Amino acid sequence: ALWITDECINCDVCEPECPNQAISMGDERYEIDPRRCTECVGHFDEPQCVQVCPVECIPVNPEHVETREQLRLKFQALQAGG
Ligand code: SF4
Ligand code: SF4
């Protein structure tokens, strides 16, 4: 999963681009739910939030480093209604 650092300027452009509804406004800035972020595996070749973010503040979440296979399984679970 990816995560949003404190460099986020709350510009709102990433939230509607997420195919998994993983992005939402938190207490101070936008946040990514690691249970829903597949790094866009299953939907797109590139993480859509990273593509649109103007300040490049969305790296891999160091607490949720996953293989492509793990991301693919998460995608399948989400598609099944998880
Ligand atoms: Fe959503 Fe894709 Fe960004 Fe993850 S990488 S938060 S799934 S847009
Ligand atoms: Fe924050 Fe980047 Fe999303 Fe804008 S696109 S709300 S700066 S994470």
Q: How far is the CA of 52 from the centre of ligand 2 (A)?
A: 8
- Which pLDDT tens digit goes with each residue over 41-69? 999 999 999 999 999 999 999 999 999 99
Topology (CATH level 3) of domain 15-79? Alpha-Beta Plaits (3.30.70)
What ipTM does this complex have?
Answer: 0.98
- Whether the CB-CB separation of 44 and 18 falls below 8 Å is answered with no
For the chain, domain boundaries: 15-79
Tokens at 6, concatenated = 């404190």
Q: How far is the CA of 34 from the centre of ligand 1 (A)?
A: 9
List C-alpha distances in Å: 46 to 18, 25, 26, 43, 66.
11, 22, 24, 9, 15
Q: Per-residue confidence at 82, pLDDT binned at 50, 70, 90?
A: low
